[in-house]
Structure formats: C-alpha cells, structure tokens
Structure 1
Amino acid sequence: MQRRSGLLVAICLWISMNGSLALLEHEGESINKCIKKYGGLTPEIGERLERFKEWSEGYEEIPCFTQCYLTEMFNFYNNQTGFDKVGVVRAFGSPVYEACRSKLEPKWGSSPSSCQHAYEGFHCITNMESHPFTLIDGMSSLSPAAKDAMKDCLQEVHQDEWSSFAAFALNPVNEPIPCFTRCFVDKLRIFDERTRRWQLEVMKQELGVPAKGARIWGCHRQSGRDRCATYYKQFTCYALAV
C-alpha cells in the first residue's frame, strides 16, 4: 500500500495532465466516477478539487468525494464499516492511527460510516502522517525519554521550522533545524561538557546509536562553525557509523 498523504497531489497532477496521468492504477477512472454525479471534470469541479488542498475543517469541498474515492481505491476504508485499523496501520503506521483514533473510529452506534466520517478521518491522516511528533513516535530505536526530549525541543522553535524535521532522515550537511540536535542531546545528558566527550552508552540506550561494533574513531574530533553545528556533525557521524 502506498502512503496516501499525496492524495491531493495526485488529484491536482491528474487534472493538470488532462486526465492522462494517474499515479495509481485506475485512479483517473475512480476520480471520474466520484465526480460523475456533479457533471464530471468541468472547470468548476476542477477548481473545487484544487481547493481540497485547503482541507477545510468545517466542510468537504465536493460532498462525499472522499468517501467515494477511498472506497474505490483502497482497502483500509469501507463505506459500511468505516476505517479498518489493521489497514490504516499497515498503510500509515501505528502512530498515525493512534493520533487520529478519535476521528477514525465511528461514534458509538453510528454505523454505517458517513461521508463526514470518511472526510474527517482521512483529513486527520493526511495532516498527521508527516507531523514531526508522529514521525518521532514512529522511531522504534528511541527511548520514551528521547521522544519526549525531541518533542520538547520542537516546542522551543517556531512551528514554521517543523516542516524541515523530515529532512533529518537524509542526513544533510547542514542541520535542517538549527540547534535542534544540541537541544535534545543536552536534555538527555549525552554530551559531557567538562570532558568534551559523548556518553556513548547513554546514547545507545536513549537513541539506539552508534551501532554495535561501528567504527566511530574520529567522530568526536569533527567540528562545525559553532557549537550547534559541531553537535550535529559529531552526532551524525556516530549515527551513520558502520
């Protein structure tokens, strides 16, 4: 199952290619089916599909479109029983399901699922799938204390910078969120300021790195333009060592 926070990207890309490109098999056909009762892909419907990117909290731009689309395309949603927990977890991960549980589970006695339920549930999934807190919760190598430290450090920077969090996974030369690494390392007491040495056993316990037997000689000698950059370079060296 492909992860589907790209639903609206797929729709808009499909529109821009005049229906000639569907990112998943039968996607164009499914979109056509779901908008057929509204007159098909007219310029007005195209504009309304574009506005889906805004994910309004209060209303669905094209009523029942999300329920129809999910039913046509994926096996984690059924318009009678609603969202399937196993299917959602398989497609998006347990942290996303847990974050959206209140939106995904139907209200007591409200079966079958409704158009509003489908829209609100998938709205939550697309918002939470790339949320940094969700990404952190999905990191199995981190201890609970490490996850809390990272979340606390994100609270200390402007939320505009949160979108850069996923870039850490690419191990870029420059730290995506300046001083973030130093922040959580200090909170976890992984670096000894007095000796200028990393507490490797604590690092392994809290963050799961470096790997056992990894060649880490020289990591502590790396330096950057300032203390935050130095923390990031050295920590990245330990994390990537094999």
Structure 2
Amino acid sequence: MRLAVGLLTLWLAVALADLTGDAQILEKCLGSISSPERIESDLRKLAKYASWTSEEVPCLMRCLASEKGWFDIDANKWHKQRVAEELGADIYNYCHYELRRKSRDACSYAHRGLRCLKQAELHAGNSISTLMQCSGQLNATNVQMLQYSTLKPKESIPCLFQCFADAMGFYDEAGNWRLLNWQQAFGPTHQEHQPDYSLCRLSDEQRSQASSKCAWMYDEYLCWERLNGNLNGTNLV
C-alpha cells in the first residue's frame, strides 16, 4: 500500500483538495476497503472521480468523511456544525439540503454529501463574489443586501438579479435557461427530484410585456425559488 502514496496524494490534489486534505486518511480508508488484488483497479477508478455518477469504490467516501469527523457512521448523520466550522458557512449553506437528505444507505448518503461539498468548493465562492461585485456596481448597501435576502414580489434592489444572472451565464443568446449554470450557482434544493423548471420560463410575449428585462428575469428567479420551496426568507445564494 505504501507504493500508492504518490498516486493517492495526486488524486487528492485533483479530486478532493481542501476537503479531506490528508493523504494518510485516504490511504487508511483504502487499506480497510480495498485489497492487494483490487488496489490498482481502485486507484484507476479514483483517478476518474470527477466523472463518477455513483460511488465506484463502495463506502470509501463514508470512511473519508468519518475519519475527518464530519460523518457519524453509527448514527448515519452528518456533523453539520463541524462541517460548517471547518469548511466555512458558505460551503455548508450550499450543501445544507443535501446533508439533511437522509438515506438508509449510509455509504450513498456520505458519497452524495462529500460530492456536494466538493462542488460547493468549486462554485459557492464564485457565486458570492459575483453577487458582491454586482451589489458594488449598483451601489447597494449592506442593509439593502440583507433586506434583499427576504425576497419580495418586486425586486428591492433593481436589476441585481439581472447583473448576477448575466455574469453567471444563466441564459443563452436566445434567452433560454442554461439550467446547469443555475444549479451550480445555487446548489442542491430541498427537493430530491428536480422540478419542471420549464414552467418558469416566461413566453416571449410575457417578457416583452414586462416593464423591463430586469423585471422578467427577477420574476423567473422567483419562480425558481417557488418551485424549490424556498420563496420565504431565501437568500440569493
């Protein structure tokens, strides 16, 4: 197993950097889960971690999360406070629905949670920095930003969402949603199954009748939050 340390460290840097942050933990977990006969195959699978749609080395992520003190295997739950303290509130908030979405299968539950935390590391900071740039461009105060977090039928900081959506690439040139960009910006919702977001796209006629582009984009964003069950007291990111 010691011969694998170099590969393990490389994989950590690419796939789980700043989350597990410890090659020794990964080596320990592989030592308990894998075998001399499977180690080369498992390492090849780990090298493709970014493209996994399901956990290809069974229960490895549960072990990693447990060794970090983030996941209680016996109770089958995440230590949410510790995750927030060690990774930061922004990353935790991005994944808080996923970390609460319990499953009888602790391995699957831990895998989904750790994968979300990695996605949060990639996207949450960008969402927040982009929002702050937009608030600066619109001369919004901190008080106004706090008030904006409680969404109103009429946008309290005019055109803030348009600025954010344009910067994040939420729409293509034809005005259609780039759904993946929305999902990466906001993170998982509390609903396990994806709603039909096509209901939120206003018709071309409805858009043309709106008072402004900012207005119809904000209306579509409110629909996004409504379908996700987050309309009351929801933060923009």
Higher relative contact order (CA 8 A, sep 6+): 2
Classify the TM-score, shorter chain: 0.3 to 0.5
Structure showing greater radius of gyration is 1
TM-score by length of 1: 0.46
